[in-house]
Structure 1
Amino acid sequence: MTAILQNIPASNIANKTMTRLASIDVMRGVVILIMLLDHVRERFYYHRPVADPMSLTETEPELFFTRLLAHLCAPLFVFLTGLSAWLYANPSNGIKRNPSSFLLKRGLFLIFIEVTLVNLSWFGKYETLYLQVIWAIGLSMITLALLCKLPRVWIAGLGLLIVFAHNLLTPINFAPGEFGYIFWTILHDAGFLISGGALKIKLSYPVLPWIGVILLGYAIGPIFGKTYDAKTRRSILIKLGASSLGLLMILRGFNIYGETLDWQTQSTFILTVMDFFNFSKYPPSLHYILMTLGLGVILLACFETIENGVTRILQTFGSVPMFFYILHLYVLLFGYRMILNTFGANYDNLFGLPSVGYIWLTTIFLAVALYFPVKAFADYKHSSKKAWLKYL
């Protein structure tokens, strides 16, 4: 895979910029809507929480596969962040820019957003500060700001080393209070940084594997440059995706390496399939990353060949990801509280929808409703030259 990333033949035939870059926003749009589905589940199906990995005895198949679909979100967000950083450093006008300053400022901005607006949106109050995916992206961007001047082969090699080797670190652990506990919790093991007092801090997204993913996104950036034609780019992406999925089938099929829990044959076919794809997310295992990035880069290749009303809608969602992220969280917060106050709790002290099917229907309704403010903001962003808009 390092050889593929480093020794990609260039082409003198440049692809059209809109087609080349629109596919990235379309991919973001897909991820955003899947994320919406998962957050509707978290808000309105909280009476049926899922573990990591998921419990086969407590998770019905429709809930399992809905959650499995949502696994695509974080890896593709982080990967596309790395890719976008390369595009920022190498704009179409040919005048290179140093991405370090932007990555550093954007990373700090994301961490600030995580600990303020994002955390408040989950519970409407501060009791526990959760450091989740926006924190992980922010810290990964800061790391990329420090590493982006390295030769591309080093960036690719380091990204691959982290992604493939971090599972070897699983046996290493520290108890709370031990020297190294805080560092290791941030880097590799999810847990509480502060478990007592007025404000607890829990880290849900250990950052080391995500640093590997963002480095791979940056390393693959040149194939989206103007010196690569669309056919060559799609071929590379499909080969990378197929290689990732093929390697996953070998590693997982024979329980060789890359996942904490081995799969085994279950009492039914569907349970066996569920066990096979029951990957760890916190931190993301090698199998988890191979599956999600493998599928993601294949979809990215396919989106370059499709342009219709649906892809234009997806592109609109994907063009303002941070705006949508904050907007949808607060819509879910206030929407949930309004429904709870109107209809009351129906599962202990929670209001919950009766089945996963209602989660999907609610997501479709919200996607349609949110499209209009998203479209208005996207139009404003694209017509304005205000610098702060690039952060959204």
Structure 2
Amino acid sequence: MQVQPKQRIQSIDVLRGIVMIIMALDHVRDFFSNARFDPTDLSQTTIPYFFTRFITHYCAPVFVFLSGISAFLGLSKGKTKRQQSAFLLTRGLWLIVAEVLLVNPGFSFNWEFYFVVGQVIWAIGWSMIVLACLIYVKPVYAGLLGIIMITGHNALDGIHAADWGSGGWLWNILHETGVFKLPDGRKVLTLYPLVPWIGVMSLGYWSGQLYKMEADTRVKILKYAGVGALILFVVLRFINLYGDLHPREVYVENWKNILSFINVTKYPPSLDYLLVTLGPACLVLAAMDGVQVGERHPALVFGRVPFFYYLLHLYLAHGLAVLTGLLLGMKSADEWTGYSLPVVYGVWGLVVVLLYFPCRWYMGVKARRRDWWLSYL
């Protein structure tokens, strides 16, 4: 089936919306949970806490992958390569600025910017800038570059920023999560190093060609890709020699052995992490191919205004935490003790419901108007 200009593909929007809904759970947990440990730390976690965190692993890779597909489909909507490249470049720069000026304060409610964290929006911004250049080569070359980055970057795990001396900041940006100082003394934490994420978006860009194929062919390829990724994940985790910065460990408790098998590294995203997240994403895309939902469906609404949703959910979830503290008479964040998982899930549901109405309004604005700036929010 040939994609026509101006046509949106619902399966892409719906899957994007689903991962946006799940993503809100992760951040609500950050703001409301009473757990003072990493949910993936098997020495402290419980099964419910582990899977509350694990399910949100799907959000960033799926979102970045779909961004690459959308970049390719932009060329099917009447844009020239030059126009699409310019859009990717300017939107990428805007996202980097937005990460610092809008996203970071959403997490901290601090506008001094003495400590900046480069997270998923930062990674998407830089990946778009790189894709703005790759758009001039054949998609297959962008895809091959993505595959090389995704499958090969764990071979660089033995290289550390400390080995680079004064240039260690560059390695922190490219591959190793870490903190470096700016000349004015401010600190930057690169939570999302760029190399693997650029690879994910490049692979997504190549995969956009699937949506110019016949539906049966597309679905078959997506199924093969999804199953193949999961098989490779199982093989690599079983061999336990390559594919993750932290190999699986063996425990006395069987439940910990099972969790250790899927306890993959996100910062930076390991090959195992990307296989176990993008593999199911391909299967879901195959399953939803051709499925139509109503224009008011929450997943569709959120999937069509993802950045607007992202900004709103941060300030709403954090604001609710602050408001709760004030209502309970807490004078500072140090007094916050948090709540158990059932409360976290309840707040998550409230946040998603409250977000639906402004996001549906904004989706309508984007459908009715063609102002240039709407493509950046």
Identify the TM-score tier after normalising by the shorter chain. Answer: over 0.9
| Conservation of the 8 A alpha-carbon contact between 1:130 and 1:204 | yes
Deviations 1:100-142 (A, max 9, x none): 1111000000001001011111111133111111101101111
Alpha-carbon distance in structure 1 between the residues aligned to 2:34 and 2:184: 26
Aligned counterpart, 2:191: 204
The letter of the residue matching 2:251 is Q
Deviates most, 229-238 or 41-50: 41-50
2:92 is the counterpart of 1:113: no
Aligned residues: 374
Alpha-carbon distance in structure 1 between the residues aligned to 2:130 and 2:357: 35
In structure 2, stretches of 5+ residues that fail to align are none
SS in structure 1 at match of 2:161: coil
2:24 paired residue among 24, 28, 36:
36
Deviations 1:251-300 (A, max 9, x none): 11121310122224422222111111111111111000011111111111
SS in structure 1 at match of 2:29: helix
Structure with more of its chain in helix, by fraction: 2
Aligned counterpart, 2:373: 388
SS in structure 2 at match of 1:58: coil
Alpha-carbon distance in structure 2 between the residues aligned to 1:124 and 1:176: 35
Alpha-carbon distance in structure 2 between the residues aligned to 1:123 and 1:116: 12
| Conservation of the 8 A alpha-carbon contact between 1:195 and 1:202 | no
Cα displacement (A) at 1:33? 0.4
Normalising by structure 2, we get a TM-score of 0.93
Deviations 1:15-45 (A, max 9, x none): 7889971111101101100110001011112
Aligned counterpart, 1:234: 219
Aligned counterpart, 1:270: 255
Cα displacement (A) at 1:148? 1.7
| Conservation of the 8 A alpha-carbon contact between 2:19 and 2:59 | yes
Alpha-carbon distance in structure 1 between the residues aligned to 2:16 and 2:241: 32
Aligned counterpart, 1:88: 74
The letter of the residue matching 1:139 is W
SS in structure 1 at match of 2:244: coil
Alpha-carbon distance in structure 2 between the residues aligned to 1:195 and 1:48: 30
Alpha-carbon distance in structure 1 between the residues aligned to 2:229 and 2:201: 16
Alpha-carbon distance in structure 1 between the residues aligned to 2:37 and 2:251: 22
Note the aligned Cα RMSD (angstroms): 2.4
2:176 is the counterpart of 1:189: yes
Aligned counterpart, 2:117: 130
In structure 1, stretches of 5+ residues that fail to align are 1-12
Change in CA separation of 1:257 and 1:305 when aligned onto 2, cut-off 3 Å: same
Change in CA separation of 1:197 and 1:16 when aligned onto 2, cut-off 3 Å: closer
Aligned counterpart, 1:356: 341
Cα displacement (A) at 1:308? 4.1
Aligned counterpart, 1:103: 88
1:26 paired residue among 14, 19, 26:
14
| Conservation of the 8 A alpha-carbon contact between 2:34 and 2:339 | no
What pairs with 1:250-329 in structure 2 (closer than 5 Å)?
250-308=235-293, 312-329=297-314
Alpha-carbon distance in structure 2 between the residues aligned to 1:299 and 1:240: 11
Alpha-carbon distance in structure 1 between the residues aligned to 2:164 and 2:197: 25
Alpha-carbon distance in structure 2 between the residues aligned to 1:160 and 1:307: 31
| Conservation of the 8 A alpha-carbon contact between 2:127 and 2:198 | yes
Identity %: 37
Cα displacement (A) at 1:351? 2.8
The letter of the residue matching 2:271 is L
Change in CA separation of 1:347 and 1:388 when aligned onto 2, cut-off 3 Å: closer
Change in CA separation of 1:321 and 1:46 when aligned onto 2, cut-off 3 Å: farther
2:45 paired residue among 48, 59, 67:
59
Change in CA separation of 1:198 and 1:343 when aligned onto 2, cut-off 3 Å: farther
| Conservation of the 8 A alpha-carbon contact between 2:145 and 2:202 | yes
Aligned counterpart, 2:152: 165
| Conservation of the 8 A alpha-carbon contact between 1:15 and 1:230 | no
| Conservation of the 8 A alpha-carbon contact between 1:163 and 1:209 | yes
The letter of the residue matching 1:142 is I
Cα displacement (A) at 1:353? 3.8
| Conservation of the 8 A alpha-carbon contact between 1:38 and 1:66 | yes
The letter of the residue matching 1:379 is G
| Conservation of the 8 A alpha-carbon contact between 1:194 and 1:202 | no
Deviations 1:153-204 (A, max 9, x none): 2211111111000000000113288143011010001111218976322211
Change in CA separation of 1:311 and 1:350 when aligned onto 2, cut-off 3 Å: farther
The letter of the residue matching 2:273 is Y
